[in-house]
A and B are shown apart, each in its own frame.
Chain A
Amino acid sequence: MKKRSLDVLLLAVFLLLMPGCGTAGGQAEPTAAAAAEELSGESVPEETAAAVPPSGEPAEASFFRSEPAASQTPAPEPAASPTPPEETALTCSLWIRCDTILDHLDRLTEEKAGLVPESGVLLCLEAVPFDEGESVFDVLLRVTREQEIHLEFVGTPFYRSAYVEGIGNLYEFDCGELSGWSYKVNGAFPGCGCSLYELSGGDIIEWVYTCDLGKDVGGTNGWEDAA
């Protein structure tokens, strides 16, 4: 009895003193972006549903598939490759916007105020080249590194899933408890995670910061469709 209470005391002290590791790994699922995607998944329009790759056909150049990606990069070099050269020059547009924060500056965490640009646009790039089979997440990861924009994500390689926690040091929950990052392709929310959405040429990717579980960025959240 005595020993156990001492153990508990020590444990409590240790937990109290543990340095704050600001990870939110365990909370990855129930966040705004994921929830919005999950909920809208109930009423996915056909074209976005069709865009979800079948599980048997993984994205070859995906971030989580380093070996196939490596084997694919030298693939275009032999001229006998079946893909014609004009198809290798696939491009998409990439927007990263957080203009919804401008309407809710009162809710924004104090230290982050300087991070929101006045236009609300963190990045706007036309014609981002990408390889066949790359996902929305692969493009985001590559472009943010090239542009030296901060990006933090939780990756679960086993499920090939990636959850974007923060872009440009603007994190989920920074602007109210319903805030976080979500993405649209060609103006619609695909009902799947960004690392599973395989891009096709000419796609317009928009990363949008929501302060209201997706409602303020055009998401229906699944509920209004049902009503």
Chain B
Amino acid sequence: MKTGAFGSCHPAVNFVYFAFVLACTMIILHPVCLGISLLCAAAYAVLLRGKGAVRRSMKYLLPAMLIAALFNPLFNHRGVTTLGYLPGGNPLTLEAVLYGVAASVMLAAALCWFSCCSAVMTSDKLICLFGRAAPGLSLLLSMVLRFVPQFTARLKAISDAQRCMGHDATHGTMLQRAQNGVRMLSILVTWSLEHAVETADSMKSRGYGLPGRTAFSIYRFDRRDGKVLCLILCAGGVILAGAAAGGLAWSYFPSVRFRETDLFSAGILAAYLVLCALPLMLQALEDISWNISH
């Protein structure tokens, strides 16, 4: 899979970046930060997975956002600005509505970042990162993470083959379709079990579990990785220190209160933008240098 300029960095850089950006997204409730995070995550997801895939995941994400935004004021009645009264007798407050919107944006941004993370952090990167410290865990993690995609791919192959033979799960009577579906499921399970046995045999024949094993990885920590990591740590440090000093203070209850945007908070927001847009900037730089050299 194409993982772009940032994806070609060292796994440690990727890991630190996603840890920082996810933590910031989930902790900081400043609306500007949430907006920056969502926009950058969505743009990066488009870059990584293409417009079609993002549009498909929007079908689930937008209703989830809507539900999150709508449900909060139904169950949360805090806040001084009463807009009306719910049938249950409790007040509907402006603050709860705003908080619901913020929470839904945060949900969407975090999900977008997770989708980018899973596209970039491939299983070989996970093995490279944790293969030495926790070989069992990283092997298990990489197997778990590829489990669902592998299942889907196999199911598609089976269903294509069955359709060629006329045993399609989308045509025929209810009973026929059920029969075909169950047959496909049976093939899928058999295939997966057989594959598991083969994997185990293969691993055993290559000496899995013997002492003195090394973990293979093709990643090298070069100068560019150092620079990127430095940038991530600087931006992250500025954001964390600034947030701890109250530069991004924004409370929704009991009334919306926030720090006026001054030079200090603007600086932190700029650092936040740099952190979130880092993969996009790296990609842009790479594109520019590619176009110049050609």
Contacts and interface: CB of A to CB of B under 8 A. Distances in A.
Contacts of B82: 148, 150
Nearest to A171: B78
Contacts of B79: 150, 169
Nearest to B73: A21
Interface in A8-22: 9, 13, 16-22
Contacts, number: 74
A101 to B, nearest CB: 14
A114 B100 CA distance: 24
Contacts of B253: 22, 111, 169
Nearest to A63: B89
User: Dominant SS at the A interface?
Assistant: mixed
Contacts of A169: 78-80, 253-254
A118 B80 CA distance: 18
Given A5-B144, A169-B80, A19 B107 contact: yes
Contacts of B26: 16-17
B114 A13 contact: yes
B189 to A, nearest CB: 11
B72 interface: yes
A181 to B, nearest CB: 15
A159 B26 CA distance: 39
A115 B144 CA distance: 51
User: Dominant SS at the B interface?
Assistant: helix
Given A2-B143, A13-B114, A21 B85 contact: no
A221 to B, nearest CB: 28
Contact of A141 (B75, B77, B89, B99): B89
Nearest to B91: A150
Contacts of B143: 2
B37 interface: no
B93 to A, nearest CB: 8
Given A2-B143, A9-B144, A111-B257, A21 B76 contact: yes
B72 A145 contact: no
Interface in B136-190: 140, 143-144, 147-148
A151 B72 contact: no
Contacts of A141: 89
B89 A153 contact: yes
B147 A2 contact: yes
A20 B26 CA distance: 11
B90 A153 contact: yes
A171 B106 CA distance: 26
Contacts of A152: 77-78, 90-91
A19 B254 contact: no
A5 B89 CA distance: 42
Contacts of A80: none
Nearest to A141: B89
A73 interface: no
Contact of B104 (A19, A112, A115, A148): A19
A16 B22 CA distance: 12
Interface string B1-42: 000000000000000000000000010000000000000000
Contacts of B88: 155
A49 B68 CA distance: 45
Contacts of A5: 140, 144
A142 to B, nearest CB: 11
Contacts of A176: none
A166 interface: yes
Contacts of A151: 90-91
B251 interface: yes
Nearest to A13: B114
Contact of B71 (A3, A21, A155): A21
A112 B254 contact: yes
A6 interface: yes
5 contacts: A21-B75, A111-B257, A150-B77, A153-B89, A169-B79
Given A166-B78, A169-B78, 13 more contacts: A2-B143, A5-B140, A18-B107, A20-B76, A22-B78, A22-B253, A148-B82, A150-B93, A152-B77, A152-B90, A152-B91, A155-B89, A169-B79
Interface of A: 2-3, 5-6, 9, 13, 16-23, 63, 111-112, 115, 141, 145, 148, 150-153, 155, 166, 169, 171
A-B complex: 6 closest residue pairs judged by Cβ atoms: A19-B103, A169-B254, A152-B77, A22-B76, A21-B75, A23-B75
